[in-house]
Amino acid sequence: MSLMHHSNIPYAVAAEKAAEWARLKYTSQIDSGKMQATSLIQNLMANQPKDNFIWHSDLCFEPIEGLKSIRVSDAKACKAPDAHGCGNELKSVMTLHPNALSQACTKSEIPVTYLNSMLENGQGDLAAQNLNRRFHDVEATKRGRPRRYNLRSVNGEVRGFVSDSFPIWDSNSLVESFIGAVREYGGVVVAAQCSDLRFSLKAVLPVLFEPIPNEVMLLGMSLRNSDFGVSTYDISALVDRLKCTNLMTMQSEFAKRHLGRQYVEGEIFSRETMEKESAALISATRDVVKGYLSPASIETQLERIRTVGTEVIDADKIFAELRKKSKLTKEEEEKAKQLYRSADTEMLPRGDTRWRLSNALALLAQETNADRGLELEEVAGEVAQLKAAA
C-alpha cells in the first residue's frame, strides 16, 4: 500500500516507523468498509421512511393483544371509547417501535417508565387510554391550537413520532455527498453501520500517522444521522487507533454552525422548500468535510493527541464527572474502570493518561450494540478533548 496522499497536501506520514501489521489491518478495513458501505446504501434505499401526518385529535392508540405494545392509527371515530378513550374505526394501523412510543410519551407528558409499567403488567388498555386522553383532551386545552405530528414508519412500524416540522432529508444523497467529499482527499470508507433508528459512516485518509511512539493511527471523518429523531445530523472528525481499531469521534461543530433554519413546530413547508434545504445541507456537508481534512485541522488533531498521550489524569474524577452528566451507566463505568486499570498494554496505550482512558471507553464501545457504541465513541472523543478546526 502506498502511504503517499492522493492530493498535493503535505501530510506528515509515519512511513518508516509504521508496522507492517498496521498496513495490513488498514487494507483489511478498506475491504470490509466497501462491503459495509454498499450494505448501508442498500438498507437506506430499501427502508426509506414513509411520512404519515396526523392531527392530534385523529390519533387513536390501541393495545396489541398478546403483546406488551401499542399500535396507532389515523382513525376518525372509535368503536370502543370505553376501552381506550378514543372512538373511531381503525384504519392505517401501525405498530409503535419503542423509540416512537417513548417520543409519544414525551410529547403527551406521560412518564415513559409509568406507561411501560402498565404494558408490563398487562394494562395495555389503560396505557392506550392515557395516551388518547392526553393527546385529545390536554393537547386541545393546553396548547390552544390543533397540532399535527409526523409518524415516520417503515414497513408498517412507526419508528419516529416527531413534529410535523421535523426536517426531512434525503439520507442517500447525504451519504453520497459525504463519500464524494472524502474521496476528493483520497479518503476511503472503513466502516458503516445501520440500526432501526440511525446509521453511521466512517472514512479515513490513506495515511498512517504516529503522533505518539508506537501509536499508529488513521484520521478521518464520521457521519451519523437518524431519520427518526434519535440524534441530529452530525459530521465529526474521527481517530482510528489501528492496534486494536479503537474508534473515537471528536466534538462536532456541524450541528450548530451549518444546519441553518430553526424549524418551528406547526410550520409546514412545501416540497420545493425542503428540496432547497436538502441541497443546502448537501453543500454544507462537502464544506465541513473539506474543512476537517485540511492540513491545519489534521495538524491540530495530531498535536492534541500528542498532548493527551502524556497527560497524567485523575481517572476517578473523570469517571465521576461522566456519571454525573449521565454519559455512562453504572455498569458501563465499572467495565471501563476495569479496562483502564488492567495490565493490558496491547489493546490500550501505556500509562495513567487521558489517551489511555479515552481508548478504554472506545474499547468498551465495541462491546455494546450499534446505537450505544456510537454514543460511547463520542464520549471517548470528549474525554480525549479532541476538537477539529472546522
pLDDT in the model for residue 72: 93
Mean pLDDT of 61-80: 76
pLDDT band at 8 (very low <50, low <70, confident <90, very high): very low
Mean pLDDT of 182-189: 89
Mean pLDDT of 74-102: 65
Mean pLDDT of 260-284: 67
Mean pLDDT across the chain: 80
Question: In 3D, which of 162, 218, 209, 159 has the Cα closest to residue 188?
Answer: 218
Contact of 98 with 159, CB cutoff 8 Å: no
pLDDT digit string (tens) for 116-165? 999 999 999 999 999 999 988 765 545 567 788 999 999 999 999 998 88
Task: State the angle between helix axes of 370-383 and 354-365 in degrees (0 to 180), rounded to the nearest 10.
Answer: 170
Mean pLDDT of 86-114: 82
CA-to-CA dists, residue 351 to 171, 246, 336, 369, angstroms: 42, 17, 15, 28
Q: Is the pTM of this model over 0.75?
A: yes
pLDDT band at 18 (very low <50, low <70, confident <90, very high): very low
pLDDT band at 268 (very low <50, low <70, confident <90, very high): low
| Residue spans per domain, the chain | 20-45+169-383, 50-154
For the cut 50, the answer to whether the pLDDT of residue 250 exceeds it is yes
Top-confidence residue, 207 or 257: 207
For the cut 50, the answer to whether the pLDDT of residue 63 exceeds it is yes
Contact of 163 with 265, CB cutoff 8 Å: yes
Mean pLDDT of 284-302: 87
pLDDT in the model for residue 6: 40
Distance separating alpha carbons of residues 253 and 288, to the nearest angstrom: 9
pLDDT in the model for residue 77: 42
Q: What are the φ and ψ backbone dihedral angles of 141, each rounded to 5 degrees?
A: -90, -40
Q: Which residues pair with 249 in a beta bridge?
A: 238
Mean pLDDT of 178-189: 90
pLDDT in the model for residue 89: 43
pLDDT digit string (tens) for 189-202? 888 888 899 998 98
